[in-house]
Structures are given as C-alpha cells and as structure tokens.
C-alpha cells in the first residue's frame, strides 16, 4: 500500500490542497511538471496561460432540487462479459483499479479503499453529443489525489481510461483519454456513487470518470485501468478514444 494512502498521508495531502479545493489553478500549481511545461519562457506564454485558466474554470454546479428526475443511460448499459459479470455478481469486491504506465509508483486498489478516500460530491449537468442532458449528483475521490499518490513521471502527458466494455459486444474495448489539465481539474473525479447511491451497472459500476468540462462520451464508465502515457499514438486507433477512432468525434470535447 502506498504511503500516501495511509491516513496521515491523505490528511497531509488534504491540508496541502485546502483552500485549493475549488481552485483549478491551485491544483495545477501543485504539480511541478505542469509549471515547467506551461510557465517556462515568459510573456510568449501569456496566451497559453489565459487558455489554461479558462480550461480550469469550474463547470456549473446545481442545487439538489434541480436534479433530473430521470437520468437516462447511454452507450453500454452492461458490459456483459464473463469477467465483468463475475465482478458484478460479487458486488465488485474483487474489482481492482490499476493505475500504471508512466508513474513512479503503480497503484492497485479495491473498491472499499477507493470509497474510503476523501471524496468530492458535485451536482452537474451531463451533456451528450446526441442532444440530451441531465443533471445528477456524483461522488468520488478527485483523480488528482490518485495521480499524486502514483506520482506521474515527467514524460506523462495524457491519462488513459481502460474500460470493461467492448463496442457492441465486439472486440474493441471502450477507452478514453484526457490531458493533464483536465486530469488535475478539481471537478474531475472517479465517481463511485450517483445520486447518493452506489453507481448502478447502467451508469458505469463500480467506477466511472466525471470530467465535467467535456461532453458525455469522455466520461468513461466501467473503469478498470488508468494509464499515464506520453502519447496517444499507441493506444487503440491512436485518436485518444473509441468514438474518436471510429466516428471521428473530437478528442477535446469542451463544453
């Protein structure tokens, strides 16, 4: 078990992040790698800095009465593979999340551990590219906390999410990816609860990504593995996500 996951480690991490909970700039600023990449050179980077702070703006959050009475499921509603069905039959007690790739300290944690980490709850609007939206409440640890614990190597540029489901039951696994700005955005969480209940199979059990500044297809459900990479070229069809590969969707789907 990594040292940051001891109670003391988590507390220390939280104190370091206190006051930064709602500030994406702080989240970015805590990461030396970003600083070097983004703020090297000086005034030539002013435009870039402005873009980065826009990218760090928070998605709107809503009040409980604004939550949608019905939140539809979309895409895969059940991965229905033998492996997934076995995990689901046991209430995901045997599910393990792997965090690897370009990290100093690969992590492998179970669902109980994930649920015991300090969590963020946010009520946000999900916008699907197909033209529907719904407001729901999501709870889970910030992705940044896990990436900090795993310690990204300096070459890491993207975070890839490997999912349990296969496109239309075929052989192509669903996957998605985001850059480090979104990975460290304060509202980017690994949600294990929706609307105060454990995530249902339809909505991505046991864990799905919420990346609130982007469209629905970026919010990977059924997350099994998280991989830090330097380039997206070697993953899937190379465009950073299943829909990007097969349907030409934009990799950056900002809203």
Q: Which residues of the chain form contacts with Mo ion (CB under 5 A)?
A: 128, 216-217
Task: Give me the residue label for tokens 């059940």.
Answer: 78
**What is the rounded CA–CA span in Å between residue 23 and residue 25?**
5
* CB of 27 or CB of 226, closer to ligand MTE: 226
Q: Which does 222 bind (CB under 5 to 8 A by kind): Mo ion, ligand MTE, none?
A: ligand MTE
Smallest distance, Å, CB 45 to Mo ion?
34
Q: Which does 105 bind (CB under 5 to 8 A by kind): ligand MTE, Mo ion, none?
A: none
Q: Which helix (H) or strand (E) holds 178?
A: strand 173-179
Smallest distance, Å, CB 192 to ligand MTE?
13
Site for ligand MTE, rule CB under 6 A: 72-76, 128, 163, 165, 174, 202-204, 216-217, 219-222
For 227, the token pair is 């991989």
Smallest distance, Å, CB 172 to ligand MTE?
11
**104, 153 contact by CB (below 8 A):** yes
* CB of 5 or CB of 175, closer to ligand MTE: 175
Torsion of CA 173, 101, 200, 198, to 10 degrees: 180
Partners of 228 in beta bridges:
101, 159
Q: Within 13 A of 107's CA, how many CA atoms are on the CB side?
A: 27
* CB of 28 or CB of 199, closer to ligand MTE: 199
Smallest distance, Å, CB 217 to Mo ion?
5
* CB of 75 or CB of 206, closer to ligand MTE: 75
**What is the rounded CA–CA span in Å between residue 41 and residue 58?**
27
């Amino acid at each position: 078990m990594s040292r940051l996951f001891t109670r003391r480690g988590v507390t220390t991490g939280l104190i370091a992040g206190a006051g930064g909970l709602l500030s994406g700039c702080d989240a970015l600023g805590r990461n030396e790698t970003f600083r070097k990449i983004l703020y090297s050179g000086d005034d030539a980077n002013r435009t870039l800095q402005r873009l980065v702070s826009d990218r760090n703006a928070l998605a709107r959050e809503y009040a409980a009465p604004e939550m949608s009475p019905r939140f539809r499921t979309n895409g895969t509603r059940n991965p229905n593979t033998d492996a997934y069905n076995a995990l689901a039959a046991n209430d995901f007690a045997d599910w393990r999340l792997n965090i690897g790739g370009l990290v100093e300290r690969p992590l492998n944690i179970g669902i109980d551990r994930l649920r015991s980490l300090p969590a963020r709850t946010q009520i946000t609007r999900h916008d699907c590219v197909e033209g529907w939206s719904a407001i729901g409440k999501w709870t889970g640890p910030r992705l940044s906390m896990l990436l900090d614990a795993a310690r990204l190597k300096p070459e890491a540029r993207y975070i890839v999410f490997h999912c349990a489901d296969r496109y239309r039951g075929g052989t192509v696994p669903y996957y998605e990816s985001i850059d480090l700005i979104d990975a460290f955005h304060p509202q980017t969480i690994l949600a294990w609860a929706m609307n105060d209940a454990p995530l249902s199979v339809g909505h991505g059990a046991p864990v799905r990504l919420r990346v609130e500044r982007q469209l629905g297809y970026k919010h990977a459900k059924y997350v099994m593995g998280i991989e830090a990479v330097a380039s997206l070229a070697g993953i899937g069809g190379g465009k950073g996500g299943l829909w990007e590969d097969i349907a030409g969707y934009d990799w950056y789907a900002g809203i």
